[in-house]
């Protein structure tokens, strides 16, 4: 609860910091705010479960773990944004303010106990993201992406709200525990169709946010069009918060009617895996490929939701962490590389931009390689254990067929992730040097180090949640 209050206040403070003459104070201040938020988050560790604001917000170790992932990702993303100093048109104070506000939304989504809280969280997060997507005002692609994201997102929110209304109509409450009570007491012979319909509509809205197929069509265009730093934000924080919310919704309220929804989620998971992985193979743009890879990772996490066994919870936490770390590294390297190279007047985001990276900057090549290996799920990286925990959760439920499909799709994944490694290590490129600010490099190496650490010792967090 503390980080929500802190970030709301500090977001306003950040906006006012924009008036200050000295431009250099902003970035350290925001980083400091985030450190404060992370510290305040863990004050309540092991104190839970606690309920706040008339039982609208729930704080337990699961909430805090997801909060920690989201805040850590935010810290890294803000750190590599470098104060937006290379873009004269940018408005750093507003961007940071919006990022902090959207974090408030994400934290509300993670900790909601009342559906109104979920709705408000989704809206706060999304509205801030619509603006940030379009923040590159003079770029046509950025404007197009923002409009697309906004129109489709508004629709999805509409569905979601409609779904909540129906559920309220059926159960008489917005509270997760009441809905759970209702769902576990369905009399034989009666079918609360309103609740089922409401759940479906609510799921559509949420699945849109985490870009699961067939609600994924906005993802490639929006990810590609948005400035890369905000794409990173979208693909890590929005996704983690979305899955935390989905997990809480299904696990607390609807676990008793598992038989109704599991096959729906299973089919969507398979579809998402197919669309994400097969779509990614045919991309020429690395950034677009990462958008499709984001879709495919949503598919893996949906498998854990499908299973909804005891290991699912820690599997989703671990997977979001592994995925966020690697994604930040991948986009972080992309930002640097595309800045140095251009293609048809635009920053070059194609695979060819990475040719010869190992010679141009060995550290970046290493960071990129580890992040690709982790996303591909090669052993000794965090990504492998993420996939492993997901597969074991499905195996515990006895759904082997979905694991087989997921495994086939991760073999496909290796194809497109390795294209980047091959480009950077085995192909010849221009003889230029790519410079990296030391702080930027420290953040990337930290993320890489964590990826390898969790790959070697996945049990670090064991028993914490």
Partner 1 sequence: MLTLLLILLPIAAGVLTLLSGERLAKQVALVSGLAVLGVAVATWLQFDPAAGTQFSFKYAWLASGGISFAAGIDGISLVLVLLTTFLTPLIILSAFNHDYRKPASFYSLILFMEAALIGVFTATDAFLFYLFFEAALIPVYFLAAIWGGENRLKVTFKFFIYTIFGSLLMLVGLVYLYYQTPGTHTSEITAFYQLQLPQQTQGFIFWAFFIAFAIKMPLFPFHTWQPDTYTESPTPATMLLSGIMLKMGVYGLIRFLLPIVPGGMEIWGTMAMVLSVIGIIYGSIIAIQQSDMKRLIAYSSFAHVGLMAAGVFSYSINGLQGALIQMLAHGINVIGLFFIIDIIYARTKTRYLDQLGGITQSTPHLSVYFMILLLGSVALPLTNGFVGEFLLLSSVFQYDGWLGAIAGLTIILGSVYMLRLFQKSMFGPRSKWVEGFQDLTMSERAVLLPLVIMVFWIGIYPNTFLKLTEPAVSQLLQMVNN
Stretch that binds partner 1, among 31-39, 273-281, 298-306, 423-431 (CB under 8 A): 423-431
Q: Please state whether 190 falls in left (phi above 0), alpha (psi between -120 and 50) or beta.
A: beta
Stretch that binds partner 1, among 124-132, 205-213, 321-329, 453-461 (CB under 8 A): 453-461
Stretch that binds partner 1, among 129-137, 250-258, 328-336, 400-408 (CB under 8 A): 400-408
Size of the site for partner 1 (CB under 8 A): 27
Q: How far is the CB of 458 from partner 1 (least distance, A)?
A: 6
Stretch that binds partner 1, among 20-28, 211-219, 294-302, 386-394 (CB under 8 A): 386-394
Q: How far is the CB of 277 from partner 1 (least distance, A)?
A: 13
Quick one: which of 411, 432, 453, 464 contacts partner 1 (CB under 8 A)? 411
Identify residues 161-200 at the interface with partner 1 (CB under 8 A).
none
Residue with Cβ nearer partner 1 (33 or 454): 454
Is residue 439 involved in binding partner 1 (CB under 8 A)? no
Stretch that binds partner 1, among 43-51, 89-97, 98-106, 407-415 (CB under 8 A): 407-415
Q: How far is the CB of 279 from partner 1 (least distance, A)?
A: 18
Round to whole Å and give the CA distance between 94 and 29: 14
Q: What binding mask, one character per residue, do residues 351-380 give for partner 1 by CB under 8 A, x or -?
A: ---------------------------xxx
Residue with Cβ nearer partner 1 (2 or 461): 461
Q: How far is the CB of 411 from partner 1 (least distance, A)?
A: 4
Is residue 461 involved in binding partner 1 (CB under 8 A)? no
Q: How far is the CB of 210 from partner 1 (least distance, A)?
A: 24
Residue with Cβ nearer partner 1 (89 or 396): 396
Residue with Cβ nearer partner 1 (114 or 350): 350
Quick one: which of 82, 278, 458, 465 contacts partner 1 (CB under 8 A)? 458
Quick one: which of 392, 445, 446, 465 contacts partner 1 (CB under 8 A)? 392
CA-nearest of 418, 433, 431 to 351 is 418
Is residue 462 involved in binding partner 1 (CB under 8 A)? yes
Is residue 463 involved in binding partner 1 (CB under 8 A)? yes
If 0-12 CB within 10 Å is exposed, 13-18 middle and 19+ buried, where does residue 22 land?
exposed
Q: How far is the CB of 403 from partner 1 (least distance, A)?
A: 5
Stretch that binds partner 1, among 64-72, 327-335, 341-349, 406-414 (CB under 8 A): 406-414
Q: Interface residues with partner 1 (CB under 8 A)?
A: 378-380, 388, 391-392, 395-396, 400, 403-404, 407-408, 410-411, 414-415, 418, 422, 425-427, 457-459, 462-463
């Amino acid at each position: 609860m503390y980080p929500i209050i802190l970030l709301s206040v500090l977001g306003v403070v950040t906006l006012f910091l924009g008036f200050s003459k000295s431009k250099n104070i902003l970035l350290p201040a925001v980083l400091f705010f985030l450190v404060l938020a992370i510290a305040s988050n863990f004050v309540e560790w092991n104190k839970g479960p606690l309920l706040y604001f008339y039982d609208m917000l729930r704080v337990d170790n699961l909430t805090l773990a997801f909060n920690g992932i989201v805040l850590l990702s935010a810290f890294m993303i803000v750190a590599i944004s470098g104060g937006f100093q290379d873009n004269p048109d940018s408005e750093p104070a507003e961007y940071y303010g919006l990022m902090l506000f959207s974090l408030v939304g994400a934290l509300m989504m993670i900790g909601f106990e009342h559906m109104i809280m979920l709705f408000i969280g989704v809206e706060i997060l999304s509205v801030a993201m619509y603006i940030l997507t379009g923040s590159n005002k003079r770029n046509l692609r950025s404007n197009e992406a923002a409009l697309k994201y906004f129109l489709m997102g508004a629709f999805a929110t509409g569905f979601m709200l409609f779904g909540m209304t129906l559920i309220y109509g059926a159960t008489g409450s917005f509270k997760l525990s009441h809905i759970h009570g209702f769902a576990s007491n369905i009399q034989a012979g009666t079918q609360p169709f309103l609740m089922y319909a409401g759940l479906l509509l609510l799921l559509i809205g949420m699945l849109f946010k985490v870009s699961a197929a067939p609600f994924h069509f906005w993802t490639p265009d929006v990810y590609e069009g948005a400035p890369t730093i905000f794409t990173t934000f979208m693909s890590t924080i929005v996704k983690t918060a979305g899955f935390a919310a989905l997990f809480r919704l299904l696990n607390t309220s609807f676990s008793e009617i598992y038989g109704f929804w599991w096959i729906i989620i299973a089919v969507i998971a398979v579809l998402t895996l197919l669309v994400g992985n097969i779509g990614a193979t045919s991309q020429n743009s690395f950034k677009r490929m990462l958008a499709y890879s984001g879709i495919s990772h949503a598919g893996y996490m949906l498998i854990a939701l499908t299973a909804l066994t005891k290991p699912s919870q820690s599997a989703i936490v671990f997977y979001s962490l592994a995925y966020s770390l690697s994604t930040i590294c991948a986009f972080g390297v992309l930002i640097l590389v595309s800045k140095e190279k251009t293609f048809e007047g635009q920053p070059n985001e194609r695979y060819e931009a990475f040719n010869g990276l190992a010679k141009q900057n060995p550290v970046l090549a290493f960071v990129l390689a580890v992040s690709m290996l982790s996303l591909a799920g090669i052993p000794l990286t965090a990504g492998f254990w993420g996939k492993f925990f997901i597969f074991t959760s499905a195996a515990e439920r006895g759904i082997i067929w979905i694991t087989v499909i997921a495994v086939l799709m991760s073999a496909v994944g290796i194809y497109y992730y390795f294209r980047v490694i091959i480009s950077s290590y085995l192909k010849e490129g221009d003889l230029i040097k790519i410079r990296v600010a030391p702080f930027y490099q420290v953040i990337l190496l930290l993320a890489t180090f964590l990826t390898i650490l969790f790959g070697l010792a996945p049990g670090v967090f064991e028993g914490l949640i």
